[in-house]
Amino acid sequence: MAQPRPLNVHLQSLISGYPNRTALIQEVIPALLRTLPDIAQALQKTSVSRAGSANSFGDDQLNVDVLAENLIREAISKVPSIATASSEEDPVEKRAYLGDVKSDEQYTVAFDPLDGSSIIGPNWTVGTIIGIWDGASALSSTSTPREKQIASILGVLGPRTTAVIALRMPGTEGTCFEVNFTGGNIEVIRPNVKLSSTPKTRYFAPANLRSAAENPKYLELINHYIAQKYTLRYSGGLVPDIFHALVKGHGIYTSPVTEKSPAKLRRLYELAPIALLVECVGGVALDSTDGTRVLDRAVRDTDERGGLVCGNASDVEFVRERLLGQ
């Protein structure tokens, strides 16, 4: 196994041909990553309870949601190149950096500070999802996430704290790597995360499984996975289920949308960052509402929602045919 590599060295090697991205690799990505051990440590010391408030979407907040939100907001307020930020807890794009220093680079950060609130009570793995976008806004009526979103971070807060980072400069295929946190250092432990074309074991994560009772096609799909001896790996948390596929090299995640089970995942804070990551590891991510590529649809509003089918390309294509009828 290769020796861990310092984060700054690895990032510099990835974007050496982009001299105008200095702040991205020296300030933005490191600052966001450093919030993850802080969130994990805070969770270990905090009893989960209702915060007594709701976010702008009307969702009840837990104290840990607010805690994670505040830690990330504090970090980005000190980074001159992060011009704007919004989150699932505060879904209005606002000025992020509070200082006076000007930066030649401008980025927008859109994040879900603590994904998996429904499973944090029983002490299951949860996470943080972050998208990094070019410019002073992630929203557009014309430009798509494929054009504007250049990086995403999947922070995994479990028995150990780790993160995977997808980075795709304009005109490139993109890359994905995993980092570990050792003391105050961030080290790259897997420099090239990829899904496998020939996995030893195939895994499926059927979100919204109850909808199989009203959707015969979804029930048939689940039965297909059982008959083909796929291994069930589903926690109820988007972060651990996606991360499992990245560790094992295979996984098909399905979150269908039906009349009785409307779309819940928010495009800006969950779908787009996850889709970038999945594409950078060689997979495919579709909106199960209509079968379109997640990254090919402009995000006009922070409350836009969709469903998700993502994972290894051949498995996603099978779901497109069987579940979506395309």
pLDDT at 322 over 70: yes
pLDDT in tens, 29-46: 999 999 999 999 999 887
Q: Which of 299, 14, 295 is nearest to 179 (CA)?
A: 14
| Structural domains of the chain in order of their starting residue, each with its CATH number | 5-190 (3.30.540.10), 203-322 (3.40.190.80)
pLDDT in tens, 224-256: 999 999 999 999 999 999 999 999 999 999 999
Task: Write down the pLDDT at residue 242.
Answer: 98
Q: Distance between CA 303 and CA 305 in Å, rounded?
A: 6
In 88-237, which residue ranges form alpha helices assigned H by DSSP? 117-120, 145-148, 216-227
Q: What percent of the chain has pLDDT over 90?
A: 82
Amino acid at 52: G
pTM of the model: 0.95
pLDDT in tens, 159-200: 999 999 999 998 889 999 999 999 889 999 999 999 999 999
Amino acid at 11: L
Q: What percent of the chain has pLDDT over 70?
A: 96
Q: Distance between CA 107 and CA 156 in Å, rounded?
A: 23
Average pLDDT, the chain: 93
pLDDT in tens, 266-297: 999 999 999 999 999 999 999 999 999 999 99
Task: Write down the pLDDT at residue 128.
Answer: 98
Q: Which of 113, 86, 94, 119 is nearest to 304 (CA)?
A: 86
